[in-house]
Amino acid sequence: MLSKDQIFKASEQLKKNEVIILPTDTIYGLSAAWNKKNEIKINEIKNANLKKPLIVLISDINQLDILNIEKNEFCELLFEKLTTVIFKTVNGLENIAVRLIVREDIKSILDSTGPIFSTSVNKHGDEPINSKEELENFNKDVKVYFDQEVLNAKPSKIFNSVTKVWVR
């Protein structure tokens, strides 16, 4: 678990639209506040397609309203540990992949900041990294909030509620 000081500092950096590395329920995530500019920033860091959609973490099911999610019967899947669900937005113009975080320390951050992006820490196409040394050397401009190596070290399952298909 992150310390209270780490939680405060991470929250402040996210509120300033900085990209940071946080532990999640699955793997370490390259994270930033949920907005288009930050989505592009993260994809640039990863050398990924700048329009590649990223997973959004929420701390509470009510944060789906912030994301303008069109709620459906698959919202219940968010309560299954380590499951990401892709939803259509109310305007129908885009889909958003959402995961309800379980870790209490990360929930505290999201309660303060609102939804954040979180994607594996790696260059696009490479394996996710979780060791402290590799995380600290990933990008010198990105602050790492390390507590321990994430034990699960596997990406979440992903269900597309639009197509009703398990993606991963």
Mean of all residue pLDDT scores within the chain: 94
The predicted-structure confidence for 137-159, as pLDDT tens digits, reads as follows: 999 999 999 987 666 677 889 99
Condensed to tens digits (0 to 9), the pLDDT of residues 15-54 reads: 999 999 999 998 999 999 999 999 999 999 999 999 899 9
Q: How confident is the model over 84-104, as a mean pLDDT?
A: 95
Nearest Cα neighbor of 130 from 146, 119, 143 is 146
| Residue 159 bridge partners (DSSP) | 85, 166
- Of the CA atoms within 13 Å of residue 91, those in its CB half-sphere come to 5
* Domain encompassing residue 152: 4-166
Residue 112 CB contacts under 8 Å (≥ 6 apart), including other chains:
11, 15
What is the domain-level CATH number for residue 85? 3.90.870.10
- Identify the pLDDT of residue 35: 97
Domain count, the chain: 1
| Those residues with Cβ within 8 angstroms of residue 116's Cβ, 6 or more apart along the chain or in another chain | 14, 31, 32, 33, 34, 56, 57, 109, 110
Quote the pTM value: 0.95
Query: Whose CA is closest to 83, among 163, 158, 160?
Result: 158
